[in-house]
Amino acid sequence: MQLTPVGVDIAKSVFQVYQVDAPTGEIVNKAIKRAGFLEYFTNRTPCLIGMEACGGAQHWARMLMKLGHQVKLMPARLVKAFNIGNKSDAADAKAIWLAVQQPCKAVAVKTEDQQAVLAMHRVRQQLIKIRTMQINALRGLLTEYGEVMGKSRAALDRGMSGALERLADRLPAMLIDTLQERYSELSKLDEQIGKIEQRLKAWIRLDKACQAIADIPGVGLITATAAVATMGNANAFRSGREFAAYIGLVPKHSGSGGKVNLLGISKRGDTYLRTLLIHGARSVLAHAKESGSWVEQMCRRRPLNVVIVALANKMARMVWALLAHERRYVKGYVGTRPT
């Protein structure tokens, strides 16, 4: 049965719905308040509902799917191409209606558990960012008084107490006390980050998918939980290359007249997961004995950063293969093509 396409532009309070009634050709482009949004789609024949993958879209997608509708979440980059006029809620809803009828890779609708894991990652990422800002601010303030610290956290820990003792004779006590308080906040941030990682460790013991990929070299606790939660359903991707392209690890290309030139990676996908995989690949290369002959040959022919991204691409494909085929990682495994 062909589903009726519907474009929905969601917002905080008022949602815009656009659709064309097939039998009559009537165009419906109306605003619906948040409280009556689900009621509008209740007891209706199943529809193909398109929405931008933005804040709150995952929640509404799950609610609409419970009502029997099919939901397609699309990147905002795709939808923007169909809005050729002025920007408004009505124009955006029409653009979404046009985009939902086009063949494209939809954003996976995640479960609440998968979103909870990603929320833990976002909080951890924010705390790490705050901690880094705090460290850099302390180093900058101390430099103003001639106390230069190394870039690492270890260098700050080694020299902080001595620097404050030397500055106590020259500077007002109010500044020394303030610097000491800001430095003490770092240990609190360390404790909060550690608690999140402990909760993720408890989660990975209960999730077989995370356990299956956590043994891949370069993929540990953080990357495994983030990959499973970001991917959603592994069978939504046709191949490992499609998943690698989804997170932005496949090169862009430009060409004409049958000649195609490969460029750098696209960076259009999930920035967080791509960063974790690249850092994991860099860690694997630091232990060259465990990297394998393929990486060693690549290092002879390509620059280091190119090799790191290529290895991250390979790790992403391995993650997809293990999850799609429900297997555990086996070191030295050699796959065979079916005849």
CB crowding 29-53: b at 16 or more within 10 Å, else e = beebeeeebeeebeeeeebbbbbbb
The CATH number for 71's domain is 3.30.420.10
Is 222 within the bounds of a domain?
A: yes
In this structure, is residue 330 part of a structural domain? no
- Establish if 57 belongs to a structural domain: yes
Phi/psi for 239 (5° steps) reads -155, 170
Instruction: Give the CA distances from residue 322 to residues 53, 213, 327, in Å, rounded to whole numbers and listed in that order.
Output: 27, 7, 5
Tell me which residue range forms the domain holding 256: 208-324
Q: What is the Cα–Cα distance from 54 to 29, expressed in whole angstroms?
A: 21
pTM (2 d.p.): 0.83
The whole-number pLDDT of residue 135 equals 93
Which residue ranges in the chain fall short of pLDDT 50? none
Q: Are 35 and 65 in the same domain?
A: yes
pLDDT value for 335: 64
Picking from 109, 104, 101, the residue whose alpha carbon sits closest to that of residue 5 is 101
Cα–Cα dist 312/310, whole Å: 5
pLDDT score of 71? 93
Domain boundary among 179, 204, 229: 204
Decide which of 72, 100, 128 is a domain's last residue: 100
Cβ-Cβ contacts under 8 Å for 122 (sequence gap 6 or more): none
Specify the pLDDT at position 237.
85
Looking at the structure, do residues 148 and 223 belong to the same domain, yes or no?
A: no
Residue 318: which of 226, 239, 245 has the closest Cα?
Answer: 239
Q: Give the chain's domain count.
A: 3
Is 146 part of any domain? yes
Q: How far apart are the first and last CA of the chain?
A: 36
Would residue 106 count as lying in a domain?
no
Quote the tokens at residue 227: 């990959």
Q: How far is CA 148 from CA 138, 141, 145, 168, in A?
A: 10, 9, 8, 16
Q: What pLDDT is attached to residue 192? A: 95
Domain boundary among 66, 100, 134: 100
CA distances 12 to 26, 37, 77, 118, 158, Å, are 27, 12, 21, 22, 49
- pLDDT tens figures, 73-105: 998 888 888 888 888 888 999 999 999 998 887
Give 52's DSSP letter.
E
